[in-house]
Chains A and B, each alone.
Chain A
Amino acid sequence: MTPLLEVRDLHLAIGGRPDRVVVDGVSFAVPAGGVVALVGESGCGKTVTALSVLRLTDAIQPISGEILLEGEDILRCSPRRLREIRGGVISMVFQEPMTSLNPVFTIGFQIIEALQIHRGLPRRAARQAAVELLDRVGIPAASSRVDAYPHQLSGGMRQRAMIALALACRPKLLIADEPTTALDVTIQAQIIRLLRDLQREFGMAVLIITHDLGIVSDFADSVVVMYAGKVVERAATAAMFSAPRHPYTGRLLASIPPVDRDVERLETIPGTVPSPWAMPAGCRFAPRCAHADGMCHAMSPPLERVETGRDVACWHPSGAAS
C-alpha cells in the first residue's frame, strides 16, 4: 500500500548550495490515518524537513530527493497545485499561535476564509462551520468567540483556534511543529488529548515534530529520530522506547530527568553536536559514541532494516533482539 506521504532521500541545503547541506538524505513515510513523530534536538533538521513538505522554506532549498503525496511529487508540482495542497490536503499547526495567526483579523474570519477558498462554502454556511469547528476544539462560547481577535485569547485557546483553522478543510495530513512547546503542562495535556481525539475522529494522519519524548510516547504510532541532519533510527513507538537500538536514541532517552523516580546522576551525552560545515567523515554520532570504532569513524552507516519494522543507521546497533 502506498503511504499517504513518503519522503525519499531528501537533501536540503542553504540556498540550494551543495556545500551547505543541512538535511542529508532523510527518508520516512506517514501512512494514511497514522501518527508519526519526528524527534531530535535543536538543529537536527526536523523542523526544516517538516516545513519543506509544504515548501515553506525560502532560505533552505531541496537539492535532491522526493516528497510524494499519494505518489505525486510535491517538489515538482505547479504553484497552483501547491496552493490546493496547502491547507486543503495538508495543513499545519505551528509552535507559537500568536505569530502564525493574523493579528488584524478575527479568528472566525481566518477560518471562514479557508472554508470559502478550499471548500467553496457560501459565507453564511462557512461562518456556521467555523463556529462548529471552534466548538469542537473546545473553545467555550464559540458563537461569540468566533469574532475574537487572536490577542483576546489565552495561549491554550489560541492553539485551539489554530487547530480549528488547520482542520477546517478536513486535511488528510496535519503537520504539527512543536504544537505544545509554548504551553503549560496542564494545557499541553489538553491539547495533545484534543489532537489525538480529532485524529481518530477525522481519520487524518499526523506528522508531529517535537523534542519532547514524553509527548511522543503518548501520541505517536511510530518515531523517526534525527541526529545532525540524518535519520538514525525509525521504529514503532513502543519498540523504540522499550529497546532503542541506535546508541544516540538510547542516550537521549536516558538523559530525560524522570518525574516518577529519583536518580543518582542523570545520563548525559558527552561532547556537542557537530557543526553542519564540519561533519565527521564517518558516522556523525561517532565522536560522542561509547561504542565507536575505526569503521564508525571511517564510513557513514546506511539506514538498514535490523528487525521487523525497525531501521537503524549504525554499524553496531545495541541490544540485538535476536
Chain B
Amino acid sequence: MTPIRPVLEVEGLRVTYRQRRPRPWQRPRSVHAVDGVSFHIGSGETLGLVGESGCGKSSVGRAVLRLTEPSAGRVMLEGEDITSLPPWALRRRRGRMQIIFQDPSSALDPRMTVEELLSEPLLIAGWPRPRIHKRVREVLEIVSLLPEHLVRYPHEFSGGQKQRIGIARALALEPRLLVCDEPVSALDVSVQAQIVNLMREIQQKLGLSYLFIAHDLGVVRQISHRVAVMYLGQIVESGTRAQVYGAPLHPYTRALLAAAPRIRPPGEDAARSPPLRGELPDPANPPSGCRFRTRCPIAIPLCAEHAPETRDLGTGHLVACHRAEQAGPAMAAHPAALTAG
C-alpha cells in the first residue's frame, strides 16, 4: 500500500479557535485545536485518524476541506496547494474532495427527495441534465440502493440507508478524496459492519482515498491502511496498521488500545490493565513539554521541559515521545504491564 503520489499532503496544519473575551477589556483567548499536524494519504489509501473527543481530529478533517480555515500550514491536493486559493477557485476543486458526516439524519435535507439530494452537487458543478440523470443512477447502484428509492424522502429510510445516501452524494462528483467524519459511530453494530464493508468495496472499485476520522479503534483497524493517533491537537504516533496496532510505541496509543472494550477470552481478566488516570487537560492551556505527560505512566522530568520531536523509529513509524525506546519492544508484547506502572 505504498503510495506512488500522495493525493493529500498536509504540512504543519494549525486550526485556531477564538474564545470569548474573559472580560470586555481583555483580549480573547485562542485555542489551538490543531497544533502542527502533518500527514499524507496515497492514492487508494485510507488513513485512520483516531483520538478522543476534543483532540482536534474533526477540526483536521474540516480544515483539509477548508470548511474551517486553517490558521497556518499547507494542504496540498494532488500536488496543488489549496490553502490560499480564493473561494471561486476552491469551489472548482471541491468536487475532488468530499465529506461524509456522522449523523446522516441531519446531513440530509428532509424536504428533498433522494433524487434531488444526489443531483444537487452535480447541478452546482454545472453538469448537463442528461448526465446528471445517468450519474445519479450510477452512484445509487454503487451504494446498493434501488431506483425506486429515488422518489422517497430521508425520513423513509433507516440509519444505515441514510448513510448510504450520504455516501452516494459524496461520490457523485467523482472525488479523489473522501473525508469521513465518524461515518459509522451513530449506527448499530450490525449496520456499522455493512457500511464499513461497503466503503472498502467502493475504495477497491474506484481507487479513491479516505481520511477516516473515528474514535472506535476496532472500526479504524478494519478500514485503514495507515493510522495516526491524535492527542490534544497533535499527532503522537502514526504508522501502518500493523505498526500502530501490533507494536504501539507511544504510551497514549497503548493506553487507548488497552481501554478499548472488547470481548475477552474467558480467564483473561480486564483488571490486569488499570485504566488511564485523569482526564484530557484544557486545550486552551495545554501542559508544558509533552502534552500527554500529565496522564503518562512513564513520564520523567524531561517530558515537562521539552516537547518531544516526532521521530521515525523504523520505516515510517513516527512517534513523538522521549521514552518510546525505553518502553518499546518489551511493552509491545504486554501492553497491560505498562499502564499498571
Give A residues with C-beta under 8 Å from B: 41-42, 154, 156-157, 184-190, 192-193, 211-215, 217-218, 238, 241-242, 251-253, 255-260, 262-263, 265-269, 272
Q: What are 25 A-B pairs at a CB distance below 8 A?
A: A41-B188, A42-B159, A154-B280, A184-B53, A185-B217, A185-B256, A185-B259, A187-B52, A189-B259, A189-B261, A190-B277, A192-B261, A193-B275, A217-B263, A218-B261, A238-B266, A242-B266, A252-B189, A255-B190, A255-B193, A257-B193, A258-B221, A259-B257, A259-B260, A268-B197
The answer on a CB contact under 8 Å between B259 and A257 is no
Of residues 185 through 229 on chain B, the ones whose CB sits less than 8 Å from some CB of chain A are 188-190, 192-194, 196-197, 200, 215-219, 221-222
Report which residue of B194, B263, B266 has the largest number of chain A beta carbons within 10 angstroms of its beta carbon: B263
In Å, the complex CA distance between A7 and B189 comes to: 27
Is B14 in contact with chain A by the CB < 8 A criterion? no
7 new A-B pairs (CB below 8 Å) besides A257-B222, A259-B218, A272-B158? A189-B259, A193-B271, A213-B189, A242-B265, A259-B257, A265-B200, A266-B196
Is B154 in contact with chain A by the CB < 8 A criterion? no
Tally of chain B residues near chain A (CB < 8 A):
43
Say whether, besides A218-B264, A253-B263, A259-B262, A185 and B215 are in contact (CB < 8 Å).
yes
In Å, the complex CA distance between A307 and B271 comes to: 30
Is B148 in contact with chain A by the CB < 8 A criterion? no
The answer on a CB contact under 8 Å between A257 and B188 is no
Of residues 67 through 105 on chain B, the ones whose CB sits less than 8 Å from some CB of chain A are none
The answer on a CB contact under 8 Å between B222 and A262 is yes
In Å, the complex CA distance between A283 and B120 comes to: 42
* Chain B residue with the shortest CB-CB distance to A190: B275
Is B233 in contact with chain A by the CB < 8 A criterion? no
Is B60 in contact with chain A by the CB < 8 A criterion? no
The answer on a CB contact under 8 Å between A257 and B218 is yes
The answer on a CB contact under 8 Å between B188 and A263 is no
The answer on a CB contact under 8 Å between B197 and A257 is no
Is B172 in contact with chain A by the CB < 8 A criterion? no
Task: Please tell me which one of the listed residues B192, B219, B263, B276 contacts residue A186 in the complex, with CB atoms under 8 A apart.
Answer: B276
The answer on a CB contact under 8 Å between A241 and B52 is no
Of residues 229 through 285 on chain B, the ones whose CB sits less than 8 Å from some CB of chain A are 241, 245, 255-266, 270-271, 274-277, 279-280
* Chain B residue with the shortest CB-CB distance to A253: B263
The answer on a CB contact under 8 Å between B218 and A258 is yes
Is B183 in contact with chain A by the CB < 8 A criterion? no
Say whether, besides A186-B52, A186-B259, A186-B275, A259 and B192 are in contact (CB < 8 Å).
no
Say whether, besides A186-B256, A242-B266, A257 and B275 are in contact (CB < 8 Å).
no
By Cβ-Cβ distance, the 8 closest A-B pairs, closest first, are A214-B261, A189-B275, A257-B218, A184-B52, A266-B193, A189-B259, A41-B188, A255-B193
In Å, the complex CA distance between A211 and B186 comes to: 12
In Å, the complex CA distance between A251 and B219 comes to: 17
In Å, the complex CA distance between A185 and B261 comes to: 8
Cβ–Cβ < 8 Å partners of A212 in chain B: 261
**In angstroms, how far is the closest chain B Cβ from the Cβ of A203?**
18
The answer on a CB contact under 8 Å between B188 and A42 is yes
The answer on a CB contact under 8 Å between B262 and A262 is no
Say whether, besides A218-B270, A258-B221, A272-B158, A188 and B259 are in contact (CB < 8 Å).
yes
In Å, the complex CA distance between A79 and B266 comes to: 44
Is B166 in contact with chain A by the CB < 8 A criterion? no
Task: Please tell me which one of the listed residues A185, A214, A272 contacts residue B52 in the complex, with CB atoms under 8 A apart.
Answer: A185
* Chain A residue with the shortest CB-CB distance to B266: A238
In Å, the complex CA distance between A253 and B245 comes to: 21
In Å, the complex CA distance between A211 and B159 comes to: 16
The answer on a CB contact under 8 Å between B266 and A156 is no
Task: Please tell me which one of the listed residues B53, B263, B280 contacts residue A241 in the complex, with CB atoms under 8 A apart.
Answer: B263
Is B42 in contact with chain A by the CB < 8 A criterion? no
In Å, the complex CA distance between A186 and B264 comes to: 17
In Å, the complex CA distance between A253 and B264 comes to: 12
In Å, the complex CA distance between A212 and B188 comes to: 10
* Chain B residue with the shortest CB-CB distance to A210: B261
Say whether, besides A185-B215, A186-B275, A268-B197, A211 and B266 are in contact (CB < 8 Å).
no
In Å, the complex CA distance between A185 and B197 comes to: 24
The answer on a CB contact under 8 Å between A251 and B190 is yes
The answer on a CB contact under 8 Å between B276 and A214 is no
The answer on a CB contact under 8 Å between B270 and A257 is no
Cβ–Cβ < 8 Å partners of A193 in chain B: 271, 274-275
Cβ–Cβ < 8 Å partners of B259 in chain A: 185-186, 188-189
Say whether, besides A259-B217, A262-B241, A186 and B197 are in contact (CB < 8 Å).
no
The answer on a CB contact under 8 Å between A255 and B262 is no
In Å, the complex CA distance between A214 and B263 comes to: 5
Residue interface bits B42-72, CB-to-A below 8 A is 1, else 0: 0000000000110000000000000000000
Cβ–Cβ < 8 Å partners of A252 in chain B: 189-190
The answer on a CB contact under 8 Å between A189 and B222 is no
* Chain A residue with the shortest CB-CB distance to B259: A189
Cβ–Cβ < 8 Å partners of A272 in chain B: 158, 160
* Chain A residue with the shortest CB-CB distance to B261: A214
Cβ–Cβ < 8 Å partners of A41 in chain B: 188-190
In Å, the complex CA distance between A259 and B53 comes to: 19
Cβ–Cβ < 8 Å partners of B196 in chain A: 257, 266
In Å, the complex CA distance between A213 and B193 comes to: 15
In Å, the complex CA distance between A242 and B266 comes to: 8
* Chain A residue with the shortest CB-CB distance to B255: A186
* Chain B residue with the shortest CB-CB distance to A218: B270
Say whether, besides A185-B217, A218-B270, A269 and B190 are in contact (CB < 8 Å).
yes
The answer on a CB contact under 8 Å between B274 and A255 is no
* Chain B residue with the shortest CB-CB distance to A40: B188
Report which residue of A156, A190, A263, A267 has the largest number of chain B beta carbons within 10 angstroms of its beta carbon: A190
Task: Please tell me which one of the listed residues B197, B216, B261 contacts residue A265 in the complex, with CB atoms under 8 A apart.
Answer: B197
In Å, the complex CA distance between A262 and B200 comes to: 13
* Chain A residue with the shortest CB-CB distance to B295: A186
**In angstroms, how far is the closest chain B Cβ from the Cβ of A9?**
27
In Å, the complex CA distance between A188 and B52 comes to: 11
Say whether, besides A193-B274, A262-B221, A268-B194, A256 and B188 are in contact (CB < 8 Å).
no
